[in-house]
Structures are given as structure tokens and as C-alpha cells.
Amino acid sequence: MKEEKTLIPLTRMSSGDSGIVAGIHGGHGAARRLEALGLRIGAKITKISDQFLRGPVTVKVGQTSLAIGYGLAQKVMVEIQK
């Protein structure tokens, strides 16, 4: 039996959780911008923190920390690693 993947938006991850970027639900502009930052499909990320009330979301990709706006972070779908 195939295991089902659980995909959630980056904004719903808890601080300290890790996962793999599984998709980007946005247009070409959003995808290109995220890719330029190093956030691409297949990248392993760890959520560092988020701000209260829709502030920026901070993630770690490799050795780099990124702050992404809430709207853009909502478009990043992540497969949580257990």
C-alpha cells in the first residue's frame, strides 16, 4: 500500500519542523522569485519562525536563512518529514 503524502502550506508548519518543498502554487513570477532565493521543488527546508498576524516567515534552506512574506509563503507546499 502506497503511503500518502501530507502537503501543507509553509505558513502552517510549526517552528522547528522540517520538510521537502513539494510544489509552488503560484504563477511563473512567484516560482522564479522563490527559485532565485534557493527555495525550489525538492529542497529540504526547516521553518525557523514566523511573526504574529501574517508577518514574514523565516526558513533555513541549506546553510542560508530566508525571510519570505506571508503571501508568498502560503504558495509554498511542503511535505512534512517525520
- What pTM did the predictor assign? 0.86
Judge whether 25 lies within some domain. yes
Judge whether 22 lies within some domain. yes
CATH code at position 63: 2.30.30.90
Task: Count how many residues are written for the chain.
Answer: 82
d(CA 33, CA 30): 5
**pLDDT tens for each residue of 16-45:** 999 999 999 988 998 999 999 899 999 999
**pLDDT tens for each residue of 38-79:** 999 999 999 998 887 788 999 999 999 999 999 999 999 999
Q: Which domain holds residue 16?
A: 7-80
Judge whether 2 lies within some domain. no
Residues in Cβ contact with 68 at an 8 Å cutoff, skipping those fewer than 6 apart: 10, 34, 37, 39, 56, 57, 58, 59, 76
